[in-house]
Amino acid sequence: LLPRAEIAAKAIANSYAVLCSDLKEAMQFSNSYAPEHLILATDQWESICDYIVNAGSVFLGHLTPESAGDYASGTNHTLPTSSYAKAYSGVSVDSFVKKITFQHINKEGIRNLGPAVEILASLEGLQAHKNAVTVRLKDSRE
């Protein structure tokens, strides 16, 4: 028995089942739905892992309950809900790592990238961005 049986009953009353013809079709639906938790309680889970694109956390096989991921298996339960798994991942160490990108362009690089940057900057109406490249292109030819 569940101590919160009344809450569970309401959740079940508001749930639904989706019947699919096979596991591949089920993964297509799942990717569209982008669940917070995807539990593949099937012996064939290995055959469909490559089809999983959108899910907060995936639980593979009959012996892998969601609660293991919440508390003990190394993942966590701070996951994207409401189909946000289409765009976001669960919170991980990576969420707290500051990242800085560095760029260095040499003469050959500015000659290769410059024209595309000029076009894109012009299309966006950012003349100063275009000019920053135009000046450097001129300097790279001297």
- Of all helices (H) and strands (E), which one includes residue 39? strand 37-40
DSSP 89-102: PPP-GGGG------
Out of 6, 36, 62, 108, the active site residue is: 36
**Cα–Cα distance between 39 and 107 in angstroms, integer?**
53
Cα-based angle 63, 68, 71 (whole degrees, multiple of 5): 170
8 A C-beta contact, residue 68 and residue 58: no
Q: Is 36 a catalytic residue?
A: yes
| Tokens of residue 104, six digits | 């260095």
Q: Is 77 a catalytic residue?
A: no
Out of 37, 66, 118, 129, the active site residue is: 37
Active site residues: 36-37
